[in-house]
Amino acid sequence: MMIPLLLLCIPLASAIVIWSFPAAFTGIFSKLFAGTQIISLLVIYVLHFYASTTTELQYDMMWFNAMGLHVSLLLSPLSMLFIILTSLVGSIIVLSIPATTSKHVYALVFFMLFALQGVFLAQDGLLFYIFWELALLPIYFIGLVWSDATRATLLKFFVYTVLGSLSMLLGLIYVYLHTDVAGAHAWNYNAMIQAAQALQPQQQYFVFWSIFLAFAIKLPLFPFHSWQPATYVEMPYYGTMLLSGIMLKMGVFGIIHWLFAMVPAAIPSVQQPVLILALIGILYASIIAIQQRDYKRLIAYASMAHVGVIVCGLFSAHVQGIQGALFQSVSHGLTVVGLLLVCDILEHRFGSQTISNLGGIRNTHPWFAVLFLCITMGAVALPLTSSFIGEFLIFNGLFSYSPLIMGLAGISVILGAVYMLRSYQGIMLGQHTANTTATIPKGHYILLTVVMALIILLGLFPKPINDLAASAATTLVHTLKPGI
Amino acid sequence: MNLLGYSLHQWVFGVLSFITIVFALMVVFSRNPVNSVLYLVLTFFGIAGHYLLLNAQFLAIVHIAVYAGAIMVLFLFVIMLMNLNADDEPQKTMSSKIIAGVLGGLLLFVIVGVLRQTAQILPQTQGAADIGLVKTLGMVLFNEFLFPFEIISILLLAALVGAIMIGKRETTESKL
Amino acid sequence: MIALFIIIGNGLLALLAEIFKFQKFIFNITFVLLLAALASNYWAWQHPQAFAPFSNMICFNMLELVLSSLLIAATILWLFIQRASHNHQTFGTDLSSLILFALAGGLLLTAFQNLTTLFIGVELLSIPLYVLAASHKNSADSHEAGFKYLILGAFASALLLFGIALLYGGAASFDINAIQAYLNAQANLPAFVKMGMLLLLIAFCFKVAIAPFHFWSPDVYEGAPMAITAFMSTVAKTASFYAFFKITMVCFNAPHTFWISMLMAFAVLSLILANTSALGQKHLKRLFAYSGISHSAFLLLIIIAQQKQALSVNALIMYTASYMLSGLGAFAILVKHGDVISDYAGFAKRNPTSAFSFSVCLLSMAGIPITAGFFSKYMVFVLLLSSSVSIWVSVIAIVAALIGIYYYIRLITQLYSKTAEEPQGPIQTDNNWIALLCAIALLVIGFFPQSLGGIFTF
Amino acid sequence: MSLGIAAYSTWWERKFAALLQDRWGPSRAGWFGLLQPVADGGKMLFKEEIIPNVANKFLFVLAPALFIITAIVAGVLIPWAPGLKAGSHWYVLQVTDVNVGVLFLLGVTSVGVYGIMIGGWASNNKYSLLGALRASAQMISYELAMGIALIALIISSGGSLSFSEIVAGQNEGVANIVWQPLGFIIFFICALAETNRAPFDLAECETELVGGYHTEYSSFKLGLFLFAEYINMFVSSAVMAGFYFGGYNFPFAQEFYAAMGWHYGDWQISLIGFGAYFTKTLIFITLFMWIRWSIPRFRYDQLMNLGWRTLLPLSLLNLALTVGIEYLRGHLHL
């Protein structure tokens, strides 16, 4: 009963406390609350195995009677997976924010974690939408007030995202109006799924595309990606971490939890176009990433490519593919946060994030080089890293759909290796060109170590996450099967 | 009394309407504002004539006394005091005239087209013979329509206060 | 009913203030009496009685009580905005009485049961505003605003009258229930009655500034003194809309709904025109004028959807409440800081609290959760999609909302932008508590949408 | 008839003025100068017509005609005498009876302003314009007080708006002046102003404006203007006599008729009634003239102040009083 609510309340309370106390307390509080986040995650992870009935993982309260709107939360395995991601990555992000930053930033980040967990827990259509939109505001304000992002970039980011959300709202309302619970419309997840599944094929396509647009923009999928690189580059790196580490996954979650569940019958016929879009995105992003000289921009395109692979996994509509996509979501969250941490160190300690300006850092900072290498390997999906398991499963699933597409998507692994290793080479090896006297703070070392440890740990011992992913994927494919 | 198939009443109505409309048009087309006002007075007389046709003598007289007799005199007064001439009037461009003409014509066309159909429809209420009498009017006004009648006094008061507000000199100006 | 009398009496009292020299207290008196009016509305809500006074000319039922309370509450907020504006050194007696009369007109517009009352309400609301729009003595713009408003308002009134006359020709009554009974009884409406209905609706489109009858609104808003613009764009527009809603929902509803297609065309046109025009505006007043047109169009969509009464009514209450709150909040800022957009660059550095309030108001206008504006837009969409209206109207509305979000967010971006020059002087802690109050109210309504959006369950 | 009366009013005016100023007045043409008006009229007719070049020709010609028409039309309402019965048919000794006669009177007088205004404006002469403006402002200002005084009169006289009924209503009871003394005074002053008579003749005051609104007029048109003024005076006198002083009734008329054995409809009653009415009217005309030659002209701001600040509140007070009294009368059956 209280578990999902607790998950929501902890970050929200953290945000409020940090915001209302003087700035002097911010440092302590943020560490404290990040710790609370992790501990509560562990507690809840354990609890969720021992929850005797599902009602203990549910929360339901009437909110807006006139519109049939509830505050309805459910901690399903799928949610658990994404909650783990949010809490882990979120805590890392909070801990990585420099202590000199305004307390408002901390508050906003915690608020964003609140909204993100809300997205992953919401079991009510409109509540999902509200959290979805709420997650946008903090990151927008962070970019607006505490970054060098130009107004044009932020506007583009915001308007693009909202375009998607509004279109999703249209689709959700459309489904809502077809629900019928005791003579009234309801936003309830099950009711909406039922209603949507009963729609005519034509209506299902409409619902699919209108909702998919939101997810496609968020991910971002190929033709809707133009907001992404500039936003990633211009945001402060913790903003970028939030965007790529967690926010992206809202799209993945949405596709699985809402889209697949609502319109399974429409999936087979949209599978191909989406896969093709994803493929184009993968290749396009990889090729552009190879040419990047700016490391952060490179990460942006790399992230796009990786997300493309995840989407491929999802739309393979195969148990393993979906399972892999879910696993890869967590894994990608970790690697991208690691890479961005490195990027932050490069920019603020070594003075540049342009690859050609750097070089030979390995000689002065060997431990940093090791950590960086491990994370890079994670990004390239080498065996023993978490990404390997994810990508392996994805390609497995994809192969069962179409070997050709799998082959094309497989190119991305090679291209990924090319740009990742080349950039590593450029930055860490070779001549001394960078600022060698730079010191890397202990905190960053610890965080990088933790990220590296997690990446390798998941590569060696994927069971906790994989079980969750597998159970989610199986239930999902079970619903998808009649359609496929 | 029939003439060409129309009753006298209809003839009077037709002639009055024609006159009224012609004068109303003259109000708009006349260059000289004084002439406009005078044509407007004549238009009011035409409308008062219509009231008489409807057996509403009270309204007819009040219409003349108030509109023609008081309000239009004030208009004339102001125009004469300000010495407005035809030259002061800004000239519209030809295109705006054409557009206005076309749009107005369309509206007229629609209204005429719609109202042509009403010829076949008998009026729903035949006005009582004493409908225009002061007494009848008073009874209606102070029973059924008491509320609007009273609220109109507030409306007039508001207009009055507004007129004074516009008209009065700003206190800060007098200090300068 | 009592509230109406209190307000009118208050207006008269304000006039007496000049004679008996208690101008100093008129603000306080007005404030207290308006609160009393609210209280009397609450009392009437608690003690519903089923009688229509004055031969059914006016009627304060549940809905009317709620709507009129919204208007009164907005006027109370507005009083503080007016006091904060440095336009007038004192709270002028003429100004306050005119505003109170206009408010009384607004109340009539919510409570009318008869087209005569409706017409008088429209006039009582408009005439004070014609004057007030022109009340900035030294400004030619203000005069132009007043004049334009007067001419076009008179035109709208003429259409309204013509429409009423034609309707009377058919129904032989001014009573809206009688007219409805007549319309229900008729299988085929005579063309002139249809014409009357359309003219009536067009007149209302004028009053609430729906394209293509919206041309006056940006000019009038721009020319009128700031506080007056605030009143016009919130209370006056909302009141007109209540009448619009009532006429369409009580009087013109089924079976003859031929007019919906016309309103739909107007709404779509407004959505497109207003939002595209708002994009290039340099002045906030003009921006808000266009955004107001777009909001009118959204409100119009409620009418077009013609859905279940409770939902429409709740949506109307929700939408107008959030619209008035956000508008008043925004104007509370504008009154102090002017309306040139470029002046607001880096505003957040100078006035963090004001910037926060302003942003919340703008977010609410844009319809971002978790402000009240979100739920109002959302309810409109629900209504629209659950109606038989083509889905393309919804799509256009979505696109329009998106464009709206674009310019609101651009404004917020401007507020928080990093200007080249450092903020002048220390951080001001200006007590713009009206704006803050509006912002907090918007958030609270957003958190508890049931409070306004669930009043009626028919 | 109005024309005739008006013509001889001029004669009487001059005679009366002469009397007051201790001189002869017109005495050459005819007995006591009785043919003088005819001579004047002829003179007017045969004089050269001058229409100024700068004038608006049409309006210039229209104005005097309009003025005199409205003046004459106002006279049609006056019920000169009790009706005459011939056989079974009643002949009403009134040109026409309108059931909203009082309003008609007000309406016609208010339209009468146009004659002056147009005349003054069309002359294109600043004296004329000023005169016209003064006249119209004055008429509008005083019309208000006059109208309100009349409302009070109508209330107290039984609620009819018809002229003949108002006059007939004073058959049995006392004349309205008893109930409406204040109203009469207001009405009288307003009537003076409405007819542009001294002391309110600022529209044509020679010392300031040469000739006022008719400065540019000559010959017959001037004649029409002057004539119309006298008709106005005559009509307003008749109206006052009818409204406030019982018209064709006189004290103890009923008893007198009964004593003589006459019934309404007999020619004797009509004749005597006419005589009574006419006498009253003449008395008022004389009063007008008396005032003209006794009281100096107002200043214009005084005139406006008197109208707006004295007469209007007074008339409102009168109205309130009347309503109160009538209410008491109705409830206490007095």
For the stretch A24-44, pLDDT in tens is 777 788 888 888 888 888 888
CA-based torsion, A166, A168, A174, A177: positive or negative: negative
Q: How far is CA C102 from CA C8, C239, C320, C327, in A?
A: 10, 10, 18, 18
B30 Cα to chain D: minimum distance (Å)? 14
- pLDDT at residue D18 in the model: 63
- pLDDT at residue D321 in the model: 85
Which chain C residues are Cβ-neighbours of A69 within 8 angstroms?
449
B55 Cα to chain D: minimum distance (Å)? 11
Residue contact B148–C120, C-beta within 8 A: yes
Check CB contact of C212 with chain B, cutoff 8 Å: no
Does residue D334 carry a pLDDT above 60?
A: no
This complex has an ipTM of: 0.80
- pLDDT at residue C225 in the model: 86
Residues near C272 by beta carbon (within 8 Å), at least 6 away in sequence: C396, C400
Give me the DSSP letters along A322-333. Answer: HHHHHHHHHHHH
Residue contact C368–A158, C-beta within 8 A: no
Does residue D9 carry a pLDDT above 80?
A: no
Which pair of tokens denotes residue A477? 């494919």
d(CA C299, CA C308): 15
d(CA C423, CA C350): 6
List residues bridging with D81 in a β-sheet.
D93
User: Using CB atoms, which residue from B69, B76, B133 is nearest to D110?
Assistant: B69
Check CB contact of B106 with chain C, cutoff 8 Å: no
- pLDDT at residue D237 in the model: 82
Which chain C residues are Cβ-neighbours of A163 within 8 angstroms?
402
Mean pLDDT by 10 residues, chain A (484 residues): 79 86 80 83 79 72 78 84 87 84 85 90 88 89 81 85 88 85 79 85 88 89 85 86 88 88 84 89 89 87 89 85 88 89 83 78 81 87 84 86 84 86 82 69 85 87 82 77 51
Check CB contact of A130 with chain C, cutoff 8 Å: yes
Interhelix angle A77-96/A26-50, nearest 10 degrees: 160
Check CB contact of C135 with chain B, cutoff 8 Å: yes
Check CB contact of C412 with chain A, cutoff 8 Å: yes
Check CB contact of A176 with chain C, cutoff 8 Å: yes
Which chain C residues are Cβ-neighbours of B118 within 8 angstroms?
169, 190-192
Domain ranges of chain C: 257-458
Check CB contact of B69 with chain D, cutoff 8 Å: yes
Which chain C residues are Cβ-neighbours of B163 within 8 angstroms?
131
Neighbours of chain C (3+ CB pairs under 8 A): A, B
Check CB contact of B117 with chain C, cutoff 8 Å: yes
Under the phi-then-psi rule, with left for phi > 0, alpha for psi from -120 to 50, and beta for the rest, what region is A440? beta
Restricting to B residues 3-22, those with a Cβ less than 8 Å away from any Cβ of D are none
Residue of A12, A16, A64 to mutate when probing chain C, most C C-beta within 10 A: A64
Check CB contact of C379 with chain A, cutoff 8 Å: yes
pLDDT band at B110 (very low <50, low <70, confident <90, very high): confident
C46 Cα to chain A: minimum distance (Å)? 21
Does residue A164 contact residue A217 with C-beta atoms inside 8 Å? yes
Q: What's the pLDDT tens digit per position in D163-199?
A: 777 777 777 667 777 777 788 888 888 888 877 776 7
d(CA D232, CA D2): 9
Q: What is the distance, to the nearest Å, from the Cα of residue D324 to the centroid of all Cα atoms in its chain?
A: 29
Which secondary-structure segment (H or E) carries A69? strand A69-74
List residues bridging with D89 in a β-sheet.
D86
Residue contact C405–A158, C-beta within 8 A: yes
pLDDT band at D295 (very low <50, low <70, confident <90, very high): confident
pLDDT band at D304 (very low <50, low <70, confident <90, very high): confident
d(CA C292, CA C408): 12
- pLDDT at residue D144 in the model: 81
Check CB contact of B112 with chain C, cutoff 8 Å: no
Q: Hunting for tokens 């909702």 — which residue is that?
A: A211
Residue contact C131–B162, C-beta within 8 A: yes
User: Using CB atoms, which residue from C378, C386, C410 is nearest to A155?
Assistant: C410
Rounded to an integer, the average pLDDT of D146-161 is 78
Query: A238 vs D212, which has greater pLDDT?
Result: A238
Does residue D156 contact residue D326 with C-beta atoms inside 8 Å? yes
Residues of chain C below pLDDT 70 = 50-52, 86-91, 307-308, 418-431, 458
Check CB contact of B133 with chain D, cutoff 8 Å: yes
d(CA C198, CA C263): 9
Q: What's the pLDDT tens digit per position in D91-132?
A: 666 666 666 777 777 788 777 777 777 777 777 777 777 777
d(CA A145, CA D60): 76
Which pair of tokens denotes residue D83? 């009706």
Does residue D73 carry a pLDDT above 90?
A: no
Check CB contact of D114 with chain B, cutoff 8 Å: yes
CB pairs under 8 A between B and C: 101
Check CB contact of C53 with chain B, cutoff 8 Å: yes
Does residue A394 contact residue A332 with C-beta atoms inside 8 Å? no
d(CA A114, CA A135): 8
Q: At residue A184, what are phi and psi to the nearest 5 degrees? A: -125, 160
**Cβ burial, residue D100 (10 Å; 0-12/13-18/19+):** buried
Residue contact B69–D103, C-beta within 8 A: no
Measured in residues, chain A has a length of: 484
Which secondary-structure segment (H or E) carries A270? helix A267-291
pLDDT band at B87 (very low <50, low <70, confident <90, very high): low
Residue of C350, C370, C393 to mutate when probing chain A, most A C-beta within 10 A: C370
Q: Which has the closest alpha carbon to D257: D244, D274, D270, D275?
A: D270
Which chain B residues are Cβ-neighbours of C95 within 8 angstroms?
165
Residue contact B147–C191, C-beta within 8 A: no
List residues bridging with A393 in a β-sheet.
none
C318 Cα to chain B: minimum distance (Å)? 30
* Within-domain flag for D270: yes
Residue contact C135–B152, C-beta within 8 A: no
Check CB contact of B8 with chain C, cutoff 8 Å: no
Residue contact C127–B163, C-beta within 8 A: no
List residues bridging with A64 in a β-sheet.
A69
Q: At residue C418, what are phi and psi to the nearest 5 degrees? A: -95, 105
Does residue C135 contact residue B166 with C-beta atoms inside 8 Å? yes
Check CB contact of C416 with chain A, cutoff 8 Å: yes
Does residue A191 contact residue A177 with C-beta atoms inside 8 Å? no
Q: At residue A440, what are phi and psi to the nearest 5 degrees? A: -100, 125
d(CA A190, CA A187): 9
Residue contact C378–A173, C-beta within 8 A: yes
Residues near B53 by beta carbon (within 8 Å), at least 6 away in sequence: B9, B12, B13, B16
- pLDDT at residue B124 in the model: 47
Residue contact D100–B76, C-beta within 8 A: no
Which chain C residues are Cβ-neighbours of B164 within 8 angstroms?
94
- pLDDT at residue A227 in the model: 87
Residue contact B147–C53, C-beta within 8 A: yes
Restricting to D residues 6-65, those with a Cβ less than 8 Å away from any Cβ of B are 59
Q: What's the pLDDT tens digit per position in C72-117?
A: 999 999 988 888 776 554 557 788 889 999 999 999 999 898 899 9
Does residue B176 carry a pLDDT above 50?
A: no
Restricting to C residues 2-41, those with a Cβ less than 8 Å away from any Cβ of B are 8, 11-12, 15
* Within-domain flag for D23: no
Range of the domain at D73: 47-332
Q: How far is CA D28 from CA B119, D31, D35, D226, in A?
A: 70, 8, 8, 22
Does residue C311 contact residue C380 with C-beta atoms inside 8 Å? no
Q: How far is CA C136 from CA B166, C89, C95, in A?
A: 9, 13, 12
pLDDT band at D79 (very low <50, low <70, confident <90, very high): confident
CA-based torsion, A450, A456, A459, A464: positive or negative: negative
Check CB contact of D117 with chain B, cutoff 8 Å: yes
Q: What's the pLDDT tens digit per position in B51-83?
A: 888 777 788 888 888 888 778 888 887 887 776
Residues near A292 by beta carbon (within 8 Å), at least 6 away in sequence: A298, A301, A355, A419
In chain C, the N- to C-terminal Cα span, in Å, equals 23
Query: In 3-state terms, what secondary structure has residue A60?
Result: strand
**Cβ burial, residue B67 (10 Å; 0-12/13-18/19+):** buried
Neighbours of chain A (3+ CB pairs under 8 A): C
Q: Which residue ranges form the domains of chain B, and what is each CATH number?
A: 2-87+129-175 (1.20.120.1200)
d(CA D260, CA D254): 10
* Within-domain flag for D11: no
Counting residues of chain D whose pLDDT is more than 90, the rounded percentage is: 0
Which chain D residues are Cβ-neighbours of B76 within 8 angstroms?
114, 117, 121, 136
Which residue of chain C has the CA closest to B115? C192
Check CB contact of D96 with chain B, cutoff 8 Å: no
pLDDT band at D27 (very low <50, low <70, confident <90, very high): low
- What is the domain count for chain D? 1
User: Using CB atoms, which residue from C101, C108, C191 is nearest to B158?
Assistant: C101
d(CA C14, CA A256): 64
Residue contact A159–C409, C-beta within 8 A: yes
d(CA D124, CA C158): 36
Does residue A340 contact residue A244 with C-beta atoms inside 8 Å? yes
Domain ranges of chain A: 268-484
